[in-house]
Amino acid sequence: MIYRLATTADWEQARQTGFFASADLRAEGFIHCSEKSQVLATARRYYPGRPDLVLLEIDESQLRAAGVRVEREWVAARGEAFAHVFGAIPVAAIVRPLPFRPDTAGTFTLPAEIS
């Protein structure tokens, strides 16, 4: 599985269209995703304290079956490789959307379903 932090608005749009396509796909040509071990650092770095997030759990084999390419690419600023999805993500490949909200101190934790 790979994971994508999304705003609830982007998730709602994906449910209506059948595809998740974030602004990074339009701007960079791919959708930034994370391994489970990278989710919390990504949340702290890019979404501090945001209460309007959903964590999308994505089945990589479903992406391949739909012809959507996934590559692990090195990100020097983070010192590790991240999954990049080169195309819109079919909603059928999203195993489940999980609420992803910080606690009262603004700290994120992984949902119990994937911990």
Residue with tokens 């079919």: 90
Sign of CA dihedral 47, 84, 29, 17: negative
CB atoms within 10 A of CB 71: 11
Question: What band does 96 get if pLDDT is binned at 50, 70 and 90?
Answer: very high
pLDDT band of residue 97 (cuts 50, 70, 90) is very high
CATH number corresponding to 2-100: 3.20.170.20
Q: Is the pLDDT of residue 20 over 80?
A: yes
At residue 54, the pLDDT reads: 97
Q: What is the pLDDT of residues 46-65, one digit of tens each?
A: 999 899 999 999 999 999 99
> How is the chain split into domains, by residue range?
2-100
Predicted confidence at residue 15, as pLDDT, reads 97
Cβ(112)–Cβ(86) below 8 Å: no
Reply yes or no on whether the pLDDT at 115 is more than 80. Answer: no
